[in-house]
Amino acid sequence: MTEPTMDIALIGLAVMGQNLVLNMNDHGFKVAVYNRTTSVMEDFINGSAKGTEIRGFATLEELVASLKRPRRVMLLVQAGKPVDAVIAQLASLLEPGDIIIDGGNSHFPDTQRRYEACQEQGLRFIGTGVSGGEEGARFGPSIMPGGDPEAWPFVKDIFQAVSAKAGDEPCCDWVGSGGAGHYVKMIHNGIEYGDMQLICEAYQILHEGLGLDNDRLHEIFTEWNSGELDSYLIEITRDIFGHREDGQALIDVILDTAGQKGTGKWTGISALDMGMPVTLIGEAVFARCLSALKDERVRASKILAGPEARFDGDTATFIDDVRKALYASKIISYAQGYMLLREASKHYGWDLNFGGIALMWRGGCIIRSVFLGRIKEAFDANPDLDNLLLAPFFTQALKDCQDGWRRVVSQAVQIGIPTPAFSTALAFYDGYRHARLPANLLQAQRDYFGAHTYERLDKPRGEFFHTNWTGTGGNVTSRTYNV
């Protein structure tokens, strides 16, 4: 019988799992590991885990038996059915009070369901976002745990020790109950999609529109990374432009079809469900979908005409305009993401801490940036902030950037370069700052064809009117409701 001396177990020794285990070991925690394919576990134990306190087990029974109580078992297996399968196996081996942690990219409704099912069995369930890729997992990821609040005190020390730090503060804190942790991770990923798309649009304008080569792009991104755009994604983009294989820039030979595993799409679906205009992430997901239609695009490129116009402005000024467009659009994207977080927090009763979330994303994760420090400051100054765009720092930044941003979007339209994210961000900005939108006409149309009723500016809100527009309609109105 194995002595229960191990602090935590980790199931699933793919890249993230192995690195997180080594990270936990570095921080003095005794980690027991298991992998469905035993040889993977053995290779790990005899390879990078050699000489550490990490111990491998060939069966879940032995793994569980090695753990101190309450037992803490973390899963880093593929999201979806594999998570349910492992939980089902563990449930019969664990005791009431034990803790199961799902650290994969699970969809938050699944996490909510698993939390409830575990609760019925007396088990405590945590669904946590873990971001930062291989390097983050090894040296400090951003960790976003949610689920059963009773479980948090038992994992807090481990998670906060291994997480990234922003200054002295851990990029890990309790997010909220049920599916809150995975929801916040989903929004993180949606924002990641948005940031990546914005960078890609800047690339296409600079490369195709201005004819800049990879060396010049490398210089531009190096410069951008030293200012307000300083972030992990700008940094890796800089390095990508500088990367050569056999004298050839690798970026030039990579096929232009993007993959996706679903977290961006889930963000878009949640935005539609919550009625929040998270347009930039939506465009970022659709841009990946369009990129995937490679063969069709190749055929269309030989048939559909573009404009004759070519860029003929001042290159240096325009490069700086692109920087401004990128920065302003990024502000819009995060503002939209936070609008969705706010609505979801109300809807699911999570009481999310928006400044705390910015801090969790400040270091370790894929969207880590100096910019997130600004968001944290905005929420620290006013935790009830209606919208990030209204925080004085961001209001001013948008004001400073908007001329350049508008020049980029109009120039891109003139020369036929697609900028769905830059454009939707600008359209959102202009829509959000309009006290009056053309929805009066929309309401009139709805009332005209379907007696859907409308409210009036000169009457109290909540009073609905119907007009017999043609003189031939009846007086019956259709119920007005907002989804």
Stretch that binds ligand 6PG, among 152-160, 166-174, 243-251, 257-265 (CB under 6 A): 257-265
The one catalytic residue among 68, 81, 135, 192: 192
- The whole-angstrom separation of Cα 39 and Cα 61 is 17
Q: For 55-91, b where at least 16 C-beta lie within 10 A, e where not — what string? A: bbbeebeebbbbbeebbbbbbbbebeeebeebbeebe
* Residues touching ligand 6PG, count (CB under 6 A): 13
Token pair of 267, please? Answer: 């963000």
Q: Does 103 bind ligand 6PG (CB under 6 A)?
A: no
H/E element holding 239? helix 232-242
Q: Strands across the sheet with 31-34, in order?
A: 55-56, 31-34, 8-11, 72-75, 99-102, 124-131, 142-147, 176-177
Q: Would you say 182 or 323 has its CB closer to ligand 6PG?
A: 182
| Rounded least distance, CB 365 to ligand 6PG, Å | 5
Instruction: Kindly tell me which of 132 and 282 has the beta carbon lying closer to ligand 6PG.
Output: 132
Return the number of the residue (154 or 193) whose C-beta is nearest ligand 6PG: 193
- Is 116 a catalytic site residue? no
One of 192, 195, 321, 447 touching ligand 6PG (CB under 6 A): 192
For the bound state, the minimum distance from the C-beta of residue 186 to ligand 6PG, rounded and expressed in Å, comes to: 9
Options 45, 365, 398, 421; binder of ligand 6PG; rule CB under 6 A:
365
- CA diameter of the chain: 87
366 interacts with ligand 6PG by CB under 6 A: yes
Q: Is 185 a catalytic residue?
A: yes
Cβ closer to ligand 6PG: 260 or 443?
Answer: 260
Burial label, 312 (beta-carbon count in 10 A; 0-12, 13-18, 19+): exposed
Dihedrals phi, psi of 317, to nearest 5 degrees: -65, -40
Residue keyed to tokens 């100096």: 370
Binding mask 114-143 for ligand 6PG (x = CB under 6 A): -----------------xxx----------
Q: Is 369 a binder of ligand 6PG (CB under 6 A)?
A: no
135 beta partners: none
Using CB under 6 A as the criterion, what x/- string covers residues 151-190 for binding ligand 6PG?
Answer: --------------------------------------x-
Mapping DSSP to helix (H, G, I), strand (E, B) and coil, where does residue 423 land?
A: helix
Give the HSE-up count for residue 7: Cα atoms under 13 Å, Cβ half-sphere.
Answer: 16
CA angle 472, 476, 479 (to 5 degrees): 135
x/- mask, ligand 6PG, residues 282-321, rule CB under 6 A, reads ----------------------------------------
| Min CB(464)–ligand 6PG separation in Å | 43
**Looking at 68, 69, 243, 261, which residue binds ligand 6PG (CB under 6 A)?**
261
Tell me if 260 contacts ligand 6PG by CB under 6 A: yes
Rg of the Cα trace of the chain?
26
- How many residues can be counted in the chain? 483
Catalytic residue among 53, 169, 185, 377: 185
289 by DSSP, 3-state: which?
Answer: helix
Residue choice 105, 106, 231, 336 for contact with ligand 6PG (CB under 6 A): 105
Catalytic residues: 185, 192
Contact footprint for ligand 6PG (CB under 6 A): 105, 131-133, 189, 192, 259-261, 263-264, 365-366
